[in-house]
A = this chain, B = another copy of it.
Amino acid sequence: MSGRKIRTMEEFAEAIGISRPTVSKYFNDPESVRKTTRAKIESALKEHQYQPNIFAINQNRKLTKCIGILVPYLADPFFAEMVRLMERRCIDAGFWPILFSAHGEQELENKALATLLSLRPTGALLAPLGRASDLEVIERFTRDVPTVIFDSNVPLGEAFVGSNNFQSIPMMVDYLCRTGEPPCFFEMPPVNPNANKRRDAYIMAMEKLGHDPKVIRVEGRGWDFEQIGLDEGGRLLDERTLPSDTILCSNDRLAIGFIAAAFERGLRVGHGQGCALRVAGHDDHPWSRFTTPPLTTVSQDYTSIVRKSVATLFDLVEGGKRGGERPEILFDGKLILRSSA
């Protein structure tokens, strides 16, 4: 029916018989045009399936409709899940979430930030690599783009949203001490501030309970936590140098590897009779309920962290208020008791 295919807003507007700017207004806020106009546009929209060109839309806009999301490692199910929830919220709010992963590398994080910068996003949700981050680059980025930092608290951006390690770790330590031998702490590679915070929280909690904290440092580097848990855990088990039969791992992925190492050596993990080791994790990764035994852990409050991060960013963006004090919003974890500890 319609002659040639409609490619531009100009053609689309002409086909309906109204001016292009009115159509433009419609796309920016359907409520802002008269009801009759809206009806005309919407019926035409069904017929022609026209969609404005994203590049042109954002070319001359004061504020683009895009929100940058950058995570350190997308293949980590924790981040995959966070991203999933964040994308959803952004889309629902009419934004265009645009996703980057640093894949564990500083160079890629910097490149992603540069790309993002040239997109002039309205705001950004940023989980930095942490220790491997180039803080100068991030700092420059945050000067131009309102940014909420999550997960890994580098002292930049307009706000931080994350988990309260100083609540979650002591809670787990309490539980473990109450129900068996005080735990040693199997530390993750210090890729980000959480690593150190969790260790410090462990030490504090143990001392408060009158126990001697025992931290196991680990050689592995990078983000292959399961592999590190398997290799280093295996080494510790072989050398019989573990200072406790209760092992608190600083995250679930490490615990997953550690459990595998224990299994390889015929050691039963769990809190029941005949179990040689208790293993606990932290984060409640999507996979941790499927380990054998299912992993006792602390859940990070995914939903709250995502909701608060996104809400904070939207406030920032709408309010336009920047450079005030920098709130740090921490959510408490919940003890997830399964059978590994």
Contacts and interface: CB of A to CB of B under 8 A. Distances in A.
A2 interface: no
A74 B289 CA distance: 19
Interface string A54-98: 111011000010000000001101001101100110010000101
Contacts of A259: 290, 292
A98 B51 CA distance: 18
A119 interface: yes
A117 B111 CA distance: 24
Contacts of A291: 260, 292
A16 interface: no
Nearest to A98: B98
Contact of A77 (B59, B77, B103, B230): B77
Nearest to A97: B100
Nearest to A105: B88
The quantity of this chain's copies bound in the complex is 2
Contact of A51 (B51, B118, B257, B293): B118
B75 A103 contact: no
A279 to B, nearest CB: 11
A53 interface: yes
Contacts of A55: 54-56, 58-59, 64, 119-120
Given A74-B84, A77-B80, 14 more contacts: A51-B117, A51-B118, A54-B118, A55-B56, A56-B59, A59-B59, A74-B83, A75-B80, A77-B77, A91-B111, A260-B289, A260-B292, A263-B292, A292-B292
7 contacts: A55-B58, A55-B64, A55-B119, A74-B80, A77-B80, A260-B290, A287-B287
Closest 5 CB pairs of A and B: A263-B292, A75-B80, A55-B58, A260-B290, A55-B55
